[in-house]
Amino acid sequence: MGMAAPRRIWLWGVLVAVLAGGGYLAWRHYGADPALPPGIARVNGRIEAEQIDIASKLAGRVTEVLVEEGQMVPAGAVVARLDAATLRAQLRAAEAQVREAEQARAAADAELLRARSARNLAQSELARTEALHRRGYAPTEQLDQRRSSLEVAEATLATAEAGQRRAQATLEATEANVAEVRTQLDDTVLTAPRAGRVLYRLLRTGEVVAAGGRVATLIDPTDVSMIVFLPASQVGRLAYGAEARLVLDPVPQYVVPATVSFIAPEAQFTPRQVETAQERENLMFRVKLRLPPELLQTYADRVKGGVRGVAYLRIDPSQPWPEDLQVKLP
């Protein structure tokens, strides 16, 4: 009996501690904020930065990877290079074909000039012979010869014109081949399409990448949003562009502005049955709250994905923000 009393006291102490801890957590997540006006919703969310995959259009061996994870790179910066020896050889061969096609085009131009000159001469000789024939100074046999010579000259001219067009087409095809190889050479140099921070470096020097394979992944520190989920009753009243306020867990002393940039057209998680009004209230819709790009530009060195916090959304645009949710930045 003497030992039972201390045991009961110990059990009561543990129970009080558990209840106190649970009460603190509930206060932390649900009761830390003062009572909100009816036109403002509160929901937990997570920060996500836009990811940019830098992938190779070509298959090949990686000769250089010039970035490291966590590094900030400007737009256009070289991220990696692929082996281009084969393509450089193909380019030299294609350029030689262009030079050959240019010579063939020059020969076709010269042949066309010769054929035109011969046709013009045949026309002149026929005209003179016709005049002499009318005056009785040229026999009919000579007139027929001049007409036949003109027909041959015109046929030769048509052949020369076709040859010139063929030479021109060949030249254009070889020039297009050179442009294609040069484009492929450019594709061996992988660059950052916009400024960002390296999130993942996926390959090392000497490794082989497949066509479409990723070499690195960046995050854009100027394109950051918080993803939240709201019930149907609140989403139905929420407008695109509606104002929001974010309070992030690592820096709860600051209030960050945001706007609603996306509302999912369909519920993300849905009960099996949605026949009653109460069950429809359980439908949750994904909402994206975008942070101002100019603000993110200012604090680009502090932007990180995965940070969690609390979002306050102004469902009613006429509802003013409470004093403690006014924008407050470092």
Among the CATH numbers 3.30.70.20, 2.40.50.100, 2.60.40.2310, 1.10.3470.10, which is that of 55-84+189-209? 2.40.50.100
For CA atoms 34, 38, 39, 41, give the dihedral sign.
Answer: positive
d(CA 206, CA 195): 26
CA trace torsion 170, 175, 178, 183 (10° rounding): -130
Q: What is the pLDDT of residue 299?
A: 80
Hey, is 246 helix, strand or coil?
Answer: strand
Nearest residue to 58 via CA among 185, 171, 179? 185
Amino acid code (one letter) for 12: W
Q: How far apart are CA 174 and CA 301, in angstroms?
A: 49
CA distance 118 to 255: 88
pLDDT at 122: 94
Ranges of the chain with pLDDT below 70: 1-34, 269-282
Give the model's pLDDT for residue 29: 40
pLDDT number for residue 178: 97
The predicted pLDDT at position 303 comes to: 75
Question: How far is the C-alpha of 104 from the C-alpha of 89, rounded, in Å?
Answer: 23
Residue 34 confidence (pLDDT): 52
The Cα angle at residue 206 between residues 205 and 208, in degrees rounded to 5: 110
pTM value is 0.68
CATH number of 35-50+221-325: 2.40.30.170
Mean pLDDT across the chain: 86
191-220 pLDDT, tens per residue?
Answer: 999 999 999 999 999 999 999 999 999 999
Cα distance between residue 140 and residue 330, in whole Å: 106
